[in-house]
Structure 1
């Protein structure tokens, strides 16, 4: 299993290094259009690192994909979620003006944030005395709330770059509304 993580990490670092160099020194538009392929590769690497994808993992993928895609459809068509925005052509095939890859992106973000927070929490719990270990319910709530907070932080970092690469644009003033981050927290 350890070997799978090393291989997946090496592939991810290689592709992201090439992508960063390409964005900085080559053709941003070309590499922006390759984003769906990159997201599919990252999704495949996440699958590869799972020992045996059990039914709960498959359910998580489906729930994240369906929820993410649905809230994006509601968001783009009504502006009720996230604010008024529209997707550009860079992210590929769309259904009702929402790129299909967005569901995959939601899964990658939610899974990665939840896993990262769970790893941190596990390390913290190992260092404290058994009497001080928080109850499992509190630990689960920590993973949910802290994972959602990490997802919002990721979105805050991603937004300006995504707009610049024409993944999506904010309508009206073009400013990213604070409401977007609130919605990200709730949905995450």
Structure 2
């Protein structure tokens, strides 16, 4: 019986609803002061679990898909390594504790998150257009919109913080250029992005980060 319930919860049709419930609980953990430390401690694990659910529903695994996803994960990790240790690519920032284990001052999970963001944003834009150039530019633009909101939520969530209150313009320029390149890979290699739950999680996370941003600005000093 429990297995049947779990299978239903993570089915492609039910997964967006599961994500909504999941992130609602996360929001409560963050808002309630007594459970905020628990929220910080499970952030990395939560991110791994939700991305695993997304990739579980990827429909066409092949050599190209594995190679492109692996390349994005490793190259984006080293891009972040270069950025956080030089202060040049994204501006001066440092990672905090909630994204888990770090190597060279960079969370190991960060590359996986880049894979998810590129995949999910491409999944959304591909439902709106078949034009390759619009897919690339539109997907990268979605990622910038996501980052604009995330940057306000990241410090109170203890993910990372910049030297300034809000990231400098070079952060968004680098993000956009990297996103353009990664979306070009997905389009050029014709990676399947037919995954409704990926797009749903993208929007749910944006809403989640937006609420946390507003709450933090109003109630957390």
> Which TM-score tier does this pair reach, normalised by the shorter chain?
0.7 to 0.9
- Map 1:135-154 to 2 at 5 A: 139-154=131-146
Deviation digits for residues 38-88 of structure 1 (CA, Å, limit 9, x no counterpart): 111122111211234222222232122112101100001111211111001
Report SS of the residue matched to 1:6. coil
Question: Which has the higher Rg, Structure 1 or Structure 2?
Answer: 1
Q: Distance in 1 between matches of 2:169 and 2:36?
A: 28
Q: Distance in 2 between matches of 1:28 and 1:143?
A: 38
Matched, 1:27 2:32: no
Q: Distance in 2 between matches of 1:166 and 1:13?
A: 22
Using the TM superposition, give the Cα deviation of residue 92 of structure 1 relative to its aligned residue in structure 2, in angstroms. Answer: 0.7
Report the number of matched residues: 169
Alignment partner, residue 121 of structure 1: 129
Q: Distance in 2 between matches of 1:52 and 1:141?
A: 23
Alignment partner, residue 180 of structure 1: 171
Q: Distance in 2 between matches of 1:161 and 1:121?
A: 31
Report SS of the residue matched to 2:72. helix
TM-score by length of 1: 0.83
Question: Which deviates the most, 61-70 or 49-58?
Answer: 49-58
Give the alignment partner of residue 25 of structure 2, picking from 6, 18, 24.
18
- Is the 2:152–2:166 Cα contact (8 Å) retained in structure 1? no
Deviation digits for residues 6-28 of structure 1 (CA, Å, limit 9, x no counterpart): 13323322211211122223522
Matched, 1:95 2:87: no
Q: Distance in 1 between matches of 2:11 and 2:68?
A: 21
Report SS of the residue matched to 1:40. helix
Unpaired runs of 5+ in structure 2?
1-9, 180-221
> What RMSD in Å do the two structures reach over aligned CA positions?
1.7
Alignment partner, residue 66 of structure 2: 58
Alignment partner, residue 203 of structure 2: none
